[in-house]
Structure formats: C-alpha cells, structure tokens
Amino acid sequence: MKKNFNSFADYLKNFIKERDYTLESLAEDLNVSFGSLSHYTTGKRIPKDVFIDNFASYFNLSKEQKNEIKALIELDRSPFLKDRIKLHNKKETPRLTVFSLNTAGEGLLQELSKEVFVLPADLEIYEDSFIVEIRGDKLAPEILNGDRILVESFNFNNWRELDGKIVVIDIKNEKFAKRVGFYDGEAILKSLTGYEKNILVDENIKYVGTFTTLVSRKLF
C-alpha cells in the first residue's frame, strides 16, 4: 500500500481509479451488489471480513496488504483510535467523562460529568478512556452498585478475543454496555440483566471499549 489512507473508503476509491475500474465492473467481478460497493466507497457501510477475504483473494494481495486493509477497517469501526494519545507519565491528571449505567435498563449509558481522577502512577490510559458508574443491582459477583469501572479501547482481530467480556458499543450514536458471547459460531452481544434480546454483531455495531479496571468502590 504505497499511499497513506485514512479509511477503507479512501483506499477503495483510489484502487478503483488506479485499476481503471467502475463501480459496476468491480461489483460484477467481486460478485457483490452495486449498492453495497457504493456504500463502501462513501464510508456509509463497513465491509465484513468475508468481503475483504474475497477482495484479497481475487486480486492476489499479499498478507501484508490484506493486513493493512484490515487495519483501515478497524479504524473505521473505531475512529477514535486515530487520535489515541497515551497519558502515561504526563504531569497533568486525566479528566475523564463519567457515564452512568442503570442495571434495571437496557444497558444504555448516560453521560454524567467530566471529573478529574487520580489514578495509580503505573496505570497507562488513553484520552479516549472513560468511566462507567454502576447504578442499581450488581451486574456480576465482581461488579457492585456504585462501582466505577475504567473503560478502555483495544485493537482486536476477532470478537472471539472479547468472548465473555463486558464491552461498550455504539449503535446509532448511543452507547450500550453488553457482554460478548457466541451462538452457532456467530458473535452476539448479550444483555447484562437478561431481560433484553441478544444482538447479532454486524457492520452497524461499533466497538467503543472494554470494562477493564475497578477505579473506585463505595463502602457502605
């Protein structure tokens, strides 16, 4: 990949131009719909892994080229990763956004405030990290009412790597906390309370972060 691209859409548009393709001819060669391919070039939709596999195979791309494309798609799924800056060893104390999570609801996060947190000196965090405060019944034996949990974003190649973990996802600009699971080989997002239906992971689901560290716990 000779040029630096900011998204898979940019890469695909450049690819079409350099290879003298049209959307119609490329869609025909790859056996995909014109509409889907058009959305990929505008960034309205993010292709699934099966498309990338077929794309790389058809054009005989190297493993390195394929991995570079996958890296672009990962950035598209989590655009905040483009501007990640480590705060470790900086003098200033991080000011993090705090979201509340009502365990009686559907897992929707509500923004509460921005607060200054004094964190352990050896804890490396990023500017896109934030805090989730639990309100209501405990979510699991290890997560109690009043707990404040650090949420951090990680690069991952497959949802299998997050199996069993509690993650924050974005659906239509709303953030939800769900637990990752699998059913018939498909990645699903499960309700933390068991009251809502499971959600099948697709291109409309944006990964935001993973519950990682207990920041504070109320003593009753």
For 21-44, the pLDDT digits (tens) are 999 999 999 999 988 898 899 887
Q: Which fold has domain 95-216?
A: Umud Fragment, subunit A (2.10.109)
DSSP reduced 3-state for 179: strand
Identify which of 140, 150, 139 has the alpha carbon closest to the alpha carbon of residue 105. Answer: 139
pLDDT given at position 138: 67
pLDDT given at position 86: 46
Annotated domain spans of the chain: 8-77, 95-216
Contact between 111 and 146 (Cβ < 8 Å): no
pLDDT given at position 30: 93
pLDDT given at position 17: 92
Q: How far is CA 88 from the centre of its chain?
A: 22
Identify which of 196, 191, 197 has the alpha carbon closest to the alpha carbon of residue 179. Answer: 191
What percentage of residues in the chain have a pLDDT greater than 90? 20
Contact between 208 and 165 (Cβ < 8 Å): no
Architecture of the domain made up of 8-77: Orthogonal Bundle (1.10)
Contact between 112 and 133 (Cβ < 8 Å): yes
Higher pLDDT, 5 or 188: 188
Identify which of 158, 163, 157, 170 has the alpha carbon closest to the alpha carbon of residue 130. Answer: 170
pLDDT band, residue 87 (cuts 50/70/90): very low
Q: Does 106 have pLDDT greater than 50?
A: yes
Helix H or strand E segment including 80 = none
212/181 Cα distance (integer angstroms): 17
- Give the mean model confidence (pLDDT) for residues 103-110: 78
Where is average pLDDT lowest: 69-78, 145-154, 164-173? Answer: 69-78
Q: Does 83 have pLDDT greater than 50?
A: no
Counting beta carbons within 10 angstroms of the beta carbon of residue 141, is it exposed (0 to 12), middle (13 to 18) or buried (19 or more)?
Answer: exposed
